[in-house]
A and B are shown apart, each in its own frame.
Chain A
């Protein structure tokens, strides 16, 4: 079967790739484009380790066909920092030890960033329900939730 040719934007870069029709966006990110920051924990939309945004909407890249990227704008964990300047969420996760093994971390950060863009002042409950699709087996979530809340507070402070 002929491969599909896809033209898209990834982390601001115009990007083209070839893929099989059944390949997921996660397959292409990891195996074709060498963007291995997005992780595969389940391949079934249950763990959130593969979280990316598609036109600013949070999606599981394991559930998205790569061909669906055509003409859209994709952002991954690799596009979160501004050069060598970490995003405030990344910085806070480091300072507050909100990661242990780190395998869930890219997905959690992408999801948390999407939350703060929609809702700069989330309650603890809102953070917990928003991140309910991101499994973390190491941390018990406590430090993740605290880091997101504290980043939100700091970003609001900086915006004032």
Chain B
């Protein structure tokens, strides 16, 4: 499994799709074209909350060059009373999110769309559409949405018997927290808030959709799941799934934000009505106003411990913004926040709160960074009050094999304590700090995921290999699959081509998300490759006239074994492939599974900051991540996930936030004012990969991509406290807020 004899697993090979990406040839959705293609544009609500009384599209339709117009009438209407779940989404909300129906629920909510001969004409036509709105009062922030007199977004949502913006709750319970707190010597209780942040993928949403006269539909789009695109488009347009071929374009980042669709059903209806392929590409402003982000939140955490540091009781309440429709990631916030610890009495409660902002989408470990910010910040204060080193406090309470977690599982073999021990032992933790510098630590957890996955492994006539899987590759998963296939077959990895199939060419595979892809696809690729090896051994046995079980496979060749060892020359993959037609036909095998056994992943981060007290700027000057990944099949891309997640966390902690103006509109819908980290904002990022193999996986994989975004918010916040003695319980710690706190501190001292 993770022995030292591996030749490819555990090495950083060059990815199969790499060259196309460095020469500019890789095809992303916005790069696709088709003969006869026209351009679609969306008209969006200028109000955060308004009844749509009527829409008059006649002037737009009359504009020369306009080929079709679509409104909610053209999208399948799912009545609000009956849930229509698809994965974690509900088509009742999706049909209203892609095109506003009764009401516009946020500024930027689509109300109509036009397809025309050029994007310019389509944009002009949008301006000619007349919408009669009855503007309603709105609620943007959680406190406004849950206030007693709050404007209600959806009359049919009831909480405690009354119409409410609280769309649901979730709780996890273990033991008896009241009894637990009675045993505590020290109790720390604090409240926190985090702002919604956008996933920030650099590639805006885009698609090209062609609906033929017979309904046969082809979709090129950038998404985290071509099967999700197919299913959701089918639901929202009424086109049967078998008539839709969804082709996964290369995807320019998703981070969870491309696990739902926005444009595809709209483009499909525009195309159907126009009889031409329709291309739609969002602007950055549209991305910022109408897609993602993840939730903002308000949390309260209470933790009680004995003098020796043993945590006896813990409680957390999280209110998460869902945006315009129900579905915030309360499961991640409530399920993950205490998951690193072995605590006998735990209670977590989450509220799903709708308000007049765009519907949230998943963002890396959805909900978990929010919960961890609150819990890991409270842990820091608890450590201080107990006079215990914050890592030692975590180690003392670390969950381990056999710990019962409040969200359900009894943990199997896992490596949380290993991440803390590695952090304690690392030089970073002991390095001296200068003036206005500080160090913080925090831990984090993500469930990880398995689910449906399909793979086909085919041997070409010249003895090379083509592997097809069904999960879009965002961060290098094709390279890992090449490593695994080459390892099993005992051949050079460059002889393995790895492709992502479209919905017509590979079996159903779930979304790229939840840190699922390598876990799941490695399982189906391994089983398929093993079947291929069995076939190859059978062919060799036939040629040699010996039983199949008297043949072994190693180093890319079948070899006679047992009594026959040495009696025949080995037959290589190339030789067997060349003889395939005479000995049994094409060589290949497929596997389709609902994979299980993805065990949770943990990380601990150490962060050093330096604060410019004149400008209020917090700079991260050193950062080290320690993560149990099970097995790093391609270490460079594992590091890439760890580094990328850490920097997204730096952005969330220090700068990123939506600014809403008094009209309920986002005032900073672009990269200039929505300030994501740039290259000069961050240092080099160190990584310690810890491998406690997952016993339920053929290569020991756990999943990597989500956990890196979980610890940073609190690690940075705790570092700022260490530097300044100021505890920030709300994010972001942006320069104006830092200056405000510094001024307040100065005044208090005077």
Q: Which residues of A contact B (CB under 8 A)?
A: 20, 30, 34-44, 46-47, 49, 76-78, 80-81, 86, 90, 93-97, 99-106, 109, 124-125, 127-129, 131-146
Q: Is B646 an interface residue (CB 8 A)?
A: yes
**Chain B min CB distance to A27 (Å):** 9
Give the contacts of B187-215 with A (CB-CB under 8 A). 199-204
> Are the CB atoms of A44 and B284 closer together than 8 Å?
yes
> Are the CB atoms of A44 and B636 closer together than 8 Å?
no
Chain A residues contacting B284 (CB-CB under 8 Å) are: 41-44, 47
> Are the CB atoms of B204 and A143 closer together than 8 Å?
no
Contact A106/B19 with A20-B120, A44-B671 known, Cβ cut-off 8 Å: no
> Are the CB atoms of B22 and A141 closer together than 8 Å?
no
Give the contacts of B1-33 with A (CB-CB under 8 A). 12, 14-15, 17-19, 21-28, 30-31, 33
Contact A139/B204 with A42-B670, A95-B14 known, Cβ cut-off 8 Å: no
Q: Is B186 an interface residue (CB 8 A)?
A: no
**Chain B residue, CB-CB nearest to A108:** B679
Contact partner of B283 among A30, A43, A131, A145, CB < 8 A?
A: A43
The stretch of B94-102, B160-168, B251-259, B724-732 in contact with A is: B251-259
> Are the CB atoms of B23 and A139 closer together than 8 Å?
no
Contact A138/B644 with A20-B120, A46-B672 known, Cβ cut-off 8 Å: yes
> Are the CB atoms of B24 and A142 closer together than 8 Å?
no
Q: Which 7 A-B pairs have the closest CB atoms?
A: A37-B24, A103-B252, A140-B643, A102-B21, A97-B636, A140-B647, A77-B24
The complex places the Cα of A43 from the Cα of B24 at a distance, in Å, of 18
Q: Is B475 an interface residue (CB 8 A)?
A: yes
**Chain B residue, CB-CB nearest to A137:** B200
Contact A132/B23 with A99-B18, A101-B203 known, Cβ cut-off 8 Å: no
Chain B residues contacting A37 (CB-CB under 8 Å) are: 23-25
Chain B residues contacting A140 (CB-CB under 8 Å) are: 640, 643-648, 682, 685
**Chain A residue, CB-CB nearest to B635:** A97
**Chain A residue, CB-CB nearest to B623:** A140
**Chain A min CB distance to B481 (Å):** 15
Chain A residues contacting B476 (CB-CB under 8 Å) are: 97, 100
Chain B residues contacting A80 (CB-CB under 8 Å) are: 23-24
Chain A residues contacting B475 (CB-CB under 8 Å) are: 100-101, 138
Chain A residues contacting B677 (CB-CB under 8 Å) are: 141
In addition to A46-B671, A137-B676, A138-B474, 5 A-B residue pairs with Cβ atoms within 8 Å of each other are A41-B671, A94-B22, A135-B676, A139-B640, A141-B647
Q: List 17 A-B contacts (CB under 8 A).
A: A30-B31, A36-B24, A37-B24, A47-B671, A86-B19, A90-B19, A93-B22, A100-B637, A102-B21, A127-B679, A129-B679, A129-B680, A137-B199, A137-B644, A138-B253, A139-B647, A141-B643
The complex places the Cα of A101 from the Cα of B474 at a distance, in Å, of 5
**Chain A min CB distance to B504 (Å):** 24
**Chain A min CB distance to B507 (Å):** 25
> Are the CB atoms of B670 and A46 closer together than 8 Å?
yes
Chain B residues contacting A134 (CB-CB under 8 Å) are: 678-679
Chain B residues contacting A137 (CB-CB under 8 Å) are: 199-202, 253, 255, 644, 648, 676
The complex places the Cα of A39 from the Cα of B201 at a distance, in Å, of 13
Q: Is B34 an interface residue (CB 8 A)?
A: no
> Are the CB atoms of A90 and B23 closer together than 8 Å?
yes
> Are the CB atoms of B14 and A135 closer together than 8 Å?
no
**Chain A residue, CB-CB nearest to B288:** A42
Q: Is B684 an interface residue (CB 8 A)?
A: yes
Chain A residues contacting B678 (CB-CB under 8 Å) are: 131-135
The complex places the Cα of A20 from the Cα of B671 at a distance, in Å, of 27
Q: Mark B270-298, 1 if CB is under 8 A from A, else 0.
A: 00000000000101100000000000000
**Chain A min CB distance to B226 (Å):** 16
> Are the CB atoms of A94 and B15 closer together than 8 Å?
yes
> Are the CB atoms of B640 and A96 closer together than 8 Å?
no
**Chain B residue, CB-CB nearest to A80:** B23
Chain A residues contacting B679 (CB-CB under 8 Å) are: 127-129, 131-132, 134, 136, 141, 144-145
> Are the CB atoms of A39 and B203 closer together than 8 Å?
yes
**Chain B min CB distance to A46 (Å):** 4
Contact partner of B12 among A40, A77, A97, A144, CB < 8 A?
A: A97
Q: Is B250 an interface residue (CB 8 A)?
A: yes
Contact A100/B28 with A131-B679, A138-B253, A139-B643 known, Cβ cut-off 8 Å: no
**Chain B min CB distance to A77 (Å):** 4
Q: Mark B644-684, 1 if CB is under 8 A from A, else 0.
A: 11111000000000000000000000111000111111101
**Chain A residue, CB-CB nearest to B687:** A142
The complex places the Cα of A139 from the Cα of B254 at a distance, in Å, of 13
Chain A residues contacting B204 (CB-CB under 8 Å) are: 40-41
> Are the CB atoms of B203 and A41 closer together than 8 Å?
yes
Interface centre among B18, B23, B28, B251 (most CB of A within 10 A): B23
The complex places the Cα of A129 from the Cα of B644 at a distance, in Å, of 19
Chain A residues contacting B647 (CB-CB under 8 Å) are: 139-141
**Chain B min CB distance to A66 (Å):** 14
The complex places the Cα of A109 from the Cα of B199 at a distance, in Å, of 23
The complex places the Cα of A86 from the Cα of B202 at a distance, in Å, of 25
**Chain A residue, CB-CB nearest to B678:** A132
> Are the CB atoms of B202 and A136 closer together than 8 Å?
yes
Give the contacts of B446-484 with A (CB-CB under 8 A). 474-476
The complex places the Cα of A137 from the Cα of B681 at a distance, in Å, of 13
Chain A residues contacting B30 (CB-CB under 8 Å) are: 30, 36, 39-40
The complex places the Cα of A102 from the Cα of B26 at a distance, in Å, of 9
Contact partner of A44 among B252, B670, B680, CB < 8 A?
A: B670
> Are the CB atoms of B682 and A109 closer together than 8 Å?
no
> Are the CB atoms of B670 and A38 closer together than 8 Å?
no
**Chain B min CB distance to A122 (Å):** 12
**Chain A residue, CB-CB nearest to B203:** A103
Chain A residues contacting B203 (CB-CB under 8 Å) are: 39, 41, 101, 103
